[in-house]
Structure 1
Amino acid sequence: MGWMRAQRNDRKVLCAQSIASASPCDSKDKLASDQQNRVHIEDISTLQTPKHLQCPTLPFVSTSTPNADLPFLPATAITASPTHNQLYIVIDNIVYNCSSFVDEHPGGGQVIESFRAQDCSWQFWRFHSKDVMQAWGQPLRVARTEGVTNRWKERPRWVGLRRFRDRDEG
């Protein structure tokens, strides 16, 4: 959708006149005349994302391929264009294409969408096990990367062992 400017802005007047005359408003004729009077300022059919900002569409890698043998994708290729049609997330420097999985995610698609083109390693490992990663994550791998950051700092986990120490001392 591009910017547009109406040359004439008397639609309220036309509808008010037809209501006052108690005759039905012929909206098709008015719509046609309104469309003829619109001038588009920007032609969006020719707009494209510059190639250096486009994130490439990568094929899925076989589950038998080790992480070290995955193709390398620079962090700038992932983070430069987060609105790309592919939903890439990064977990432990491995890039996953979650575009086809986002609707199947048990926690809802919004969880994955919120990490589009970002690292979500510690958040992932707080809720998922290695078995989940093997079953669901391995088939979604497309590349490895370095330098993609997590926008939230991991909070330390506190384990309630203080009481055990207090009992030992007493």
Structure 2
Amino acid sequence: MKRICFHGAESTGKSVLAEKLAAELRLPWVPEYGREYAETFGTEFTLPDLLAIAEGHEARVRQLEGQGAGLALLDTDPLMTAAWAEMLFGAVPPELLAYPKADLYLLFEADVPWIEDGTRFFGSTAERARFAAVAEDMLVRTGVPYKRIGGTWVEREAQVRQVLAELQVPMR
């Protein structure tokens, strides 16, 4: 299964756009498991919580693979959980870097307004810039292919659609 992962700092449009395009294009997708985990267990994360988030997310990806999906949109993956570990604890457990990687990462820039939603942490300009840099560093550190997605909400959607078109994903 080809994995296209939406990656980047909080409040950059990953979840909204992944869900919208998955529904519109009838593509399988894996929602952000970390959000579901935070809404269920709270946001006082420990390192074991982050490891559970990564495993929960990857279990859902494996389930899609088992159903024979050819391509899936991933709203983050364990590399984004690794960025969270770096931000919250100053270190990345090797387990978070050992998971299978996406075929392509779409790195969403932190150049749109940050919106508080009750589960977000890093809203100041400095924190947001640091989180964006850490998220990109995870991609660079692991040597995965990625493309930047930025600009207005409309521009972001157009850029993602262009990437999907280049990958020959049927546009409905």
Same fold (TM over 0.5): no
TM-score, length basis structure 1: 0.21
Per the normalisation by structure 2, the TM-score is 0.21
Instruction: Using CA pairs under 8 Å that are at least 6 residues apart, name the structure with larger relative contact order, 1 or 2.
Output: 2
